[in-house]
Every structure is written in C-alpha cells, then in structure tokens.
Structure 1
Amino acid sequence: MTVEAEKFESQLFEQIELLTEKESEHTRVGLYVYLKPENGIEEHRLSKSQLEQMFGKHNHELTKFELINKNENVLADLTVHFSNGIIDCVEIWNKLGDYPKEELLTYELKRI
C-alpha cells in the first residue's frame, strides 16, 4: 500500500518483489527494517530525475502513512527510505510510547 498511487508505482512494486529483510533494529519506540536488494533490482532503480519528481532534491522518503494497532497501543509513523533510487529501509516510530518487540500480526495502514 505504501507505493499505491505514487508516481512510478509499477517500478516501485517491482523493487518490492526483489527485496528481502536483511535485519531489523528495535529502538524501544520504533523499528527499523533494513532491506537487501536481490539480483535484477537495478533495472527498477528510480533515476535522479524520477527521485526529484517524487521528492524534490532531498529527503528521498515516503512519509505519509500511519501504522495502527489499538490493542498494542500503536499509532506509528511509517517511513519508506530510498538510497540511490532503491528502497532500502522502512522506519516505524510509535507516537504513543514503546513499540512492541514482537512482530505485529494485525495492523491497519492508513494514508495521512
């Protein structure tokens, strides 16, 4: 959902298909999920021009989403980070306090 209706949506979906979780880091109030690109992702890299169309010259990140799980007291900002035109990290930051250490099995993802 984080790339639906974005410019270059199909290119971003192709990237997602070629990413696997490399590692994650729990930060008490959030979580970083670092991603590893697989072979073939280069052909779906966003060019400098495409990045500028999406984000301007700086801050190549999608920041218009919230992750919600009321049972776990989670209302979190979700940010998708890009490095050199490829998605490389998802950051989750809970605005209500500590983020659960266990993976959330259910949640709502809301565009803000």
Structure 2
Amino acid sequence: MAKYKIEYLTEESFEYTGVGVFVSFKHSIGIEQHKLAIDNVLINGLEIESTSLEVGAEASVSVNKGLIDYLEIWSYSGEYPTQELADYTLRQSWTNGQGREIIVK
C-alpha cells in the first residue's frame, strides 16, 4: 500500500455513528495506474491517537476493485466526536507492518 497515491483520493462523505465514522472516497483521474492487486479486502491494524479521543481508536480500510473505497474508524471508548479530528497520529500496528505514522497537529 505504500505505493498507493493518496493525492488521487478526495473525501466524498462522512457518516458519523456516535462510536466512529465512515469516510467514503472519490477517485481522481489517473488513479487506475495505482490499483492494488487485491479486491474486496478489509485492511485492519491502524491505530489512532488524538486529544479528542478518550482512549484512542482503530481504523480499517476497505479496498474494492483494487481501489480504496472507504475508511472506517471506531473509538475504543465507544464515543467518537461528530466532526473531523483536529489532531491525530495514525499508526500502522499490524504484525510485520513497518510502523509508519502520519502525524497531524
């Protein structure tokens, strides 16, 4: 997934559930050249820390037809804010993952 080009993704919609959020994506022209060799897969093992979250959260990425379809986030505490997180650290935590992080302040 490291080769996947995030600049081809635009957030299309947010569905807040109270315990998390579903983020759907729109794809820009040119993304086809970066399709993944997997289909109908849910990739788990992403952890989120934020000052807006009591304990933290976990995230999964849904891949459909080789393209990222949506991101699902759910809070460990059972409560999630109803707006985008102002600050967060997103970390790979799956077995044999490289532990990469995205930090937004």
The answer as to whether partners of 1:31 and 1:92 remain within 8 angstroms in 2 is: yes
Structure 2 counterpart of 1:69, from 50, 53, 62: 50
Structure 1 CA distance for aligned equivalents of residues 78 and 30 of structure 2? 39
User: How well do the aligned residues superpose, as a CA RMSD in angstroms?
Assistant: 1.8
**1:43 aligns to 2:33 (yes or no):** yes
The answer as to whether partners of 1:24 and 1:33 remain within 8 angstroms in 2 is: yes
Structure 2 counterpart of 1:111, from 79, 89, 92: 92
Deviation at 1:102, TM superposition (A): 2.2
Structure 2 CA distance for aligned equivalents of residues 59 and 83 of structure 1? 5
The answer as to whether partners of 2:19 and 2:75 remain within 8 angstroms in 1 is: yes
**1:18 aligns to 2:8 (yes or no):** yes
TM-score by length of 1: 0.73
More helix by share: 1
Deviation at 1:71, TM superposition (A): 4.8
Deviation at 1:93, TM superposition (A): 0.6
Moved over 6 A (4+): none
Deviation at 1:37, TM superposition (A): 0.6
Count matched residues: 93
Structure 2 counterpart of 1:30, from 17, 20, 23: 20
Deviation at 1:73, TM superposition (A): 0.9
Q: Which has the larger radius of gyration?
A: 1
Q: Which amino acid aligns with 2:60?
A: T
Report the CA distance shift for 1:28/1:71 in structure 2 as closer, same or farther (over 3 A).
Answer: closer
The answer as to whether partners of 1:74 and 1:99 remain within 8 angstroms in 2 is: no
Paired-residue identity, %: 37
Report the CA distance shift for 1:71/1:84 in structure 2 as closer, same or farther (over 3 A).
Answer: closer
- Identify unmatched segments of 5+ residues in structure 2: 94-105
TM-score by length of 2: 0.78
More strand by share: 2
Structure 2 CA distance for aligned equivalents of residues 76 and 61 of structure 1? 16
